[in-house]
Structure formats: structure tokens, C-alpha cells
Amino acid sequence: MAQVRLSKKRRVCQGDIYRDVPFNEYVVERKGVIEFSQIFFPLVVVLTQDCDLEQDYRVRWARQETPTQDKKLFSVIVAPLYNADHVYAGEHLSELKMTMGAHLKGKTASAFLRNNQIPRYHFLEFPDSTPIPESVIDFKHYFTLNVEYLKRNQKSKFLCRIGPLYRESLSQRFAAFLSRIALPEE
């Protein structure tokens, strides 16, 4: 079970979980009409390294004097948290009219998923005191948010922070998934 902290620091941290977060899917202009598609994810977790977030905070908000602005971030990497029961049923993206593979509860695949033995997914279980159901992160589904958006909305959208050991495990698994070597198909 993931250790969580409900108190927040003054800055955005790796492992922070936010609610009702927008993802700007696309903007298209056709014959003078602008079409804008935005998806709201109920929950996301911050994946950007905490040292980078801390350095950005020092330069951006703590007004630490530096000769350059090379520590500022343009964006923060986040990933949606999906309700584990919806993932088991393959329905976690049904509102986007997407059918996903089912990992039926009680079957071997779902046990592997729950034990974090499938590199693509990360399972999180929260204490009863946290209003988040068992969740799954799909490492293929990540996006970026403006760091100032998260800081501005921290009071209203911050839920909790994953504890350091669980945060490190999540970070290591995400990095390993992204760094995998693609083998060409013959």
C-alpha cells in the first residue's frame, strides 16, 4: 500500500496527485473556425524528477538570484491514474470511445498487474484515509502540463503526495519503460 502525505509543500513535487486536470488534445483551424479539444483526467500524478522541480521553484517563485534561467522548466510530466477496476475490465478509456485490453481480476495477468510485474503498468493502492481507489498508471499515457498551471491550481486541485519510497519505485519503473529498446520487426 502506497504511503501518502496529505500536507503539501509550497512547490510542486514528484509524486503529487492532482484532480480534474486538463489535457489539450488538439487545436485545429479550418476555414477560419478554430476547433479545440480538451480532455479532463480525474486524477494525474507528477512524474518529473523532484530535483528539477525544486530547482525550478527556487528560480521561479523563491526568486533565488541566478545568472541564468537554465533551471526553469517549460512543463511537467504527468500521467493519469485509472481506477484499477476499470483497467481490469478494459473500460478505463471508454468515455473517449477507446476499448482497451482487459486484465480480468483473479486471472494471472491481473495478478501480474497488481504486483507490478508488467513493465507498462504501475499499480497503486492507497490507505483508506485517502479518497483514491486502487489505481493503475499506464506508462504509454503521459503528457505535460505547464508548471505554472500546477502551482496556480495547487490549493484547489492537490489531493496528496506519494511517499518517497513509492515515488522512487514509480520513477524508476517509468524511466525503465521509456528507455526500452525497440526491436525492428522483420
Q: What is the 3-state secondary structure (H, E, C) of 102-141?
A: CCCCCCHHHHHHHCCCCCCEEEECCCCCCCCCCEEEECCC
Q: Supply the CATH number for residue 47's domain.
A: 2.30.30.110
Q: Per the domain annotation, does 39 fall within a domain?
A: yes
| CB-based contacts of 121, cutoff 8 Å, min separation 6 | 87, 113, 136, 137, 138, 139
Average pLDDT of span 74-88: 94
Q: Is residue 184 in a domain?
A: no
Q: How far apart are CA 147 and CA 175, in angstroms?
A: 20
Cα separations in angstroms, 104 against 85, 98, 147, 155: 9, 17, 37, 37
Q: Which of 28-32, 66-70, 144-148 has the lowest mean pLDDT?
A: 66-70
CA 46 vs CA 77, 170, 178: distances in Å: 6, 10, 16
CA dist 7 and 10 (Å) reads 10
Would you say residue 183 lies in a domain?
no
Burial class (CB in 10 A: 0-12, 13-18, 19+), 62: exposed
What's the pLDDT band for 7 if we cut at 50, 70, 90? low
* In a domain? residue 132: yes
pLDDT digits (tens, 9 = 90+) for 124-179: 999 988 889 999 999 999 999 999 999 999 999 999 999 988 999 999 999 999 99
Contact predicate 90/103, CB 8 Å: yes
Range of the domain at 117: 4-178
Number of domains in the chain: 1
Q: Which helix (H) or strand (E) holds 28?
A: strand 16-30
Put simply, whether the predicted model's pTM sits higher than 0.75 gets the answer yes
Residue 28 lies in a domain: yes
Within-domain flag for 100 = yes
| 144 lies in some domain | yes
